[in-house]
Amino acid sequence: MNKKTKIPFVAGNWKMHMTIPEARELASKIVKSSVGLSEAEIVVAPPFTALSEVMKVLEDSSVQLSGQDLYWEEKGAFTGEISASMLKNAGCQYVIIGHSERRQYFGETDSGVNKKIKAALQHDLFPIVCIGESLEEREKGETMGKVARQIEKGLDGLGSNDFERVIIAYEPVWAIGTGKTATPAQAEEVQAFIREKLASRYGKDPASCAIIIYGGSVKPENSYDLLSEKNIDGFLVGGASLEAESFIRIIEQAIKAFKEKK
């Protein structure tokens, strides 16, 4: 990944789906269709059990591998956890951190997210850091306060060099897996705010180079309009990444919208 030449960034989060044969099949289809799509950074995040097999499929392609989470310790008695070096060793270049499902169902906190980001960076993994408000917070007008806090606490202690390798995913919790996508204007409003917030921490130039993606019911039908917005640099896709055809169509739309807004 080279942030100097920004290209649309599209990651597929497979969540708790795909056995190893299913994962291999989906990855093969994506690799085949991605041949003409070098103008996007394409990333897939299979479950841990399928990482090394999917890596074999991705080997000669430009599609990159991501973990869905990690634990910040290097090694030890942490039953059920996976370290950054294990992900790196399995072939990952990226790792998703602080997904709202981890925060909601597994008690993930901003300080845990912060430790995970630092562990990822130490092992040369690019963290894809998820932030976003719940429906209740949005209705109470607390959206900006929530994402500002998540940025402050999540990126606490990270210098400019670290920040250059961080991808931010704005994912309004009410839009994830619900079919309710944020409108392009709703997403842009928050993404522009996130970029401003990053500019006040790291300076205008680093913030303008930062990759800020959107996630929450992204589909082939809404991806062009979303990516046409100034501050949306790509997508974190859940449901629609489980089929190669819809995932590829999203990438095509992203490339088209990106070219037209340049």
Binding site for ligand PGA (CB under 6 A): 13, 171, 176-177, 215-218, 236-240
Q: Is 123 a catalytic residue?
A: no
Read off φ and ψ for residue 45, nearest 5 degrees: -120, 85
Shortest Cβ 177–ligand PGA spacing (Å): 4
Question: Which residues neighbour 29 within 8 Å (Cβ) at sequence distance 6 or greater?
Answer: 244
Comparing CB distances to ligand PGA, the nearer of 34 and 223 is 223
Shortest Cβ 186–ligand PGA spacing (Å): 15
Encoded tokens for 234:
């790509």
Comparing CB distances to ligand PGA, the nearer of 166 and 202 is 166
Which residues sit opposite 131 in a β-bridge? 170
Nearest to 68 by CA among 127, 154, 118, 156: 127
State the catalytic residue, choosing from 99, 101, 137, 252. 99
A 10 A CB-CB count for 26 gives 24
The 8-class DSSP code of residue 149 comes to H
Encoded tokens for 255:
């490339």
Comparing CB distances to ligand PGA, the nearer of 26 and 202 is 26
Segment (H or E) for 54: helix 51-58
Beta-strand relationship, 167-170 and 94-97: unpaired
Comparing CB distances to ligand PGA, the nearer of 202 and 251 is 251
**Residue closest to ligand PGA, measured at CB:** 238
SS3 222: helix
Are 213 and 233 within 8 A, CB to CB? Answer: yes
Shortest Cβ 93–ligand PGA spacing (Å): 18
Q: What is the C-alpha to C-alpha distance for residues 231 and 233, in angstroms, rounded to an integer?
A: 6
Shortest Cβ 233–ligand PGA spacing (Å): 15
Are 40 and 10 within 8 A, CB to CB? Answer: yes
Shortest Cβ 79–ligand PGA spacing (Å): 26
Cα Dmax for the chain: 51
Comparing CB distances to ligand PGA, the nearer of 202 and 247 is 247
State the catalytic residue, choosing from 101, 171, 229, 252. 171
Which residues sit opposite 94 in a β-bridge? 66, 126
Shortest Cβ 11–ligand PGA spacing (Å): 8
Comparing CB distances to ligand PGA, the nearer of 196 and 243 is 243
Q: Is 99 a catalytic residue?
A: yes
Q: What residues are annotated to the active site? A: 99, 171
